[in-house]
Amino acid sequence: MLDRLRALSYIAACALVAGCPKQIAPLVPVPLAPGDRMQALGWTGSTVPRHSTAIRFRFQFQDDRRHWTGRGTARVAPPDSLRFDYVGPLGLGAGAAVVVGDSTIWADPEENFRSLVPGIPMLWAALGIVRPPAPDALVERGGVAPSTIWRFSRGGDTLAYVATEGVPNVLEAEWRREGKVLARSRTELTDRALPAKARVDFPEAPARFELTVVGVDTTATFAPSLWRSRR
C-alpha cells in the first residue's frame, strides 16, 4: 500500500512538470516513530563513498523556458565535499561549483548552478548520498523491509528519504518547506551503492533535472586547486 501511495504521489509531481497543477501527496504519507539520531548518522554515513570518487554523467534540464542537455562530472571527496562541473552542447553553458556539506562555497556562474540545483540536499540525494540531520533537527524513522524511511525536520523544512533494496536499489527523497513540495527525486543505484541514473522534479518552477551516469572512478585523486574558485 505504501509503495502504491508513493507511486501515485510521484506521478502527481511529474504531472506538475508537464503543466497540470495538482496537490502533491507526501513521499511518506504515514506517521513515523521518533528516530535515534546516532542511528540516523550511521545510516546517512553509509551512503557516502569510502574513497574519493569521480562520477561522469549526461544530463537533461527542462523548465518552461528551455530544454538543455549536456554532460558533467561530480567529484565527491568524503565525507562532505563535492565539485560539480557541467557543460552544454558545443561547450556552451559551462559552469562549476564547490559544495561543502549543505553550503555552496562558490558557483560560477551562480545563476546557472542554482537553476540546475535549487536545493543542495537534493543534489546529494541525486548522487545517492544522504546528508545527515542538523543537530537540532527532529529525527523520525519508519519502513518495513525492503524499505527504510527517515524524515528530518528543522524549522519549516522537511527532508524525507525512502531507501528500497531491490533490482535496482532505489533512493527517493523529498524536500518540503512549510508543507509545500519544493523537490522530489528518485535515484537508481548499482549493487555497489553508486548512482546509475537520477531524476529530480521541482514542481514549483516547474522544472526537471535528469542525469545518467556514464562512468565512475572510485580511485580518483583531486588536486587542491580543484576546490578553488575559477575567478
Range 18-23 average pLDDT: 48
Q: pLDDT of 70-89, one tens digit each?
A: 999 999 999 999 999 999 98
pLDDT of residue 112: 85
Residue 1 has pLDDT above 70, yes or no: no
Range 85-98 average pLDDT: 90
In terms of residues, how long is the chain? 231
Residue 103 has pLDDT above 80, yes or no: yes
CA nearest 195: which of 174, 181, 182, 210? 210
Residue 67 has pLDDT above 70, yes or no: yes
Distances (CA, A) of 2 to 93, 145, 179: 41, 12, 20
Q: pLDDT of 196-219, one tens digit each?
A: 999 999 998 899 999 999 999 999
Range 103-117 average pLDDT: 90
pLDDT of residue 23: 63
d(CA 228, CA 105): 9
Q: What is the 3-state secondary structure (H, E, C) of 27-55?
A: CCCCCCEECCHHHHHHHHHHCCCCCCEEE
Residue 4 has pLDDT above 60, yes or no: no
Q: pLDDT of 122-171, one tens digit each?
A: 999 999 999 999 999 999 999 999 999 999 999 999 999 999 999 999 99
